[in-house]
Homo-oligomer: A and B are copies of this chain.
Amino acid sequence: MILVNGQAADHLDVRDRGLAYGDGVFRTLRTADGQPLWWRDHYAKLAADCAALALDVPDAAVLLAEVCRVAEAGEGVVKLIVTRGTGARGYMPPRGRPVTRIVLSAPLPAHARAEAQEAIAARWCSLRLGRQPRLAGVKHLNRLENVLARAEWDDPAIFEGILCDDEGLLVGGVTSNLFWVSEGVLFTPDVSQCGVAGVARTRLLRAAGRRGIPARIDRFLPAAILAADEVMICNSVLGVRRVARLDDTSWAPAGWTDILNIALYEDLVD
């Protein structure tokens, strides 16, 4: 089911700035029994991303009601899109026009179900992410780099591609954030230059703090993960997944993925 500005619809005005310029943001979240998981975190991130683009964030109660209205029975996924709406021709953001909100549901993908394998295989992407601090961290609609990176492979055994920036420093996965543990310390790349600061990443860092696991966010060379005890990816649909293999490098389980995945979901704020 799809709602466009609260109305059941599957079409959008072709003059919407979301299409013209990718002038908007989105969220992908998991639902269970008609309710979103981690809603407070998702709404906080949506509000922060809207603020980064000077977009009005839709009202939380309105959005939550729409998410619940479209959510699949049982487990599912909902995607929320907020765009700057329709406007006059040209890049100048119009003032005082309502944003467009789109809420659409989909079944939970097979790889996110409980019976899916706990570990995944990944590859290095050859595309290097450009650095743009004004947009870094934001889950905006300008995602051509992700499309080009994902087009680099079609082997279904490879679940994720790992990306570096144009200086060769680690950023994250095409659809996920990247974490690793070395000698009891949790590491994840800085995303202030490129990449997305996902909700699962925020929650995982918070959970690590609550559990007393030291965490370090910094700029790292690829060698940092090759020497790790355990490597993981996370996003809001998957939770935490262990990376068992990255091209020619393999890691045996070291137990961190289970600990962190449980910690990710136990957050008591929601």
Which residues of A come within 8 Å of B, CB atoms? 2, 4, 9-23, 26, 53-54, 77, 79, 81, 83-84, 89-93, 102, 104, 106, 109, 127, 129-132, 134-135, 140-151, 154, 166, 174-175, 194
Contacts and interface: CB of A to CB of B under 8 A. Distances in A.
A21 B144 CA distance: 6
B15 A104 contact: yes
A11 to B, nearest CB: 4
Given A91-B143, A140-B144, 14 more contacts: A11-B14, A12-B12, A14-B104, A21-B22, A21-B141, A21-B143, A21-B146, A53-B148, A92-B154, A130-B130, A131-B131, A135-B148, A142-B143, A142-B144
Contacts of A135: 130, 144-145, 148
Contacts of A143: 20-23, 91, 142
Contacts of A10: 13-15
A198 to B, nearest CB: 14
Which residue of A12, A19, A149, A194 has the most chain B CB atoms within 10 A of its CB atom?
A19
A10 B14 CA distance: 6
A90 B176 CA distance: 12
A64 to B, nearest CB: 20
B81 A19 contact: yes
Contacts of A22: 21-22, 141-144
A21 B147 contact: yes
Nearest to A150: B91
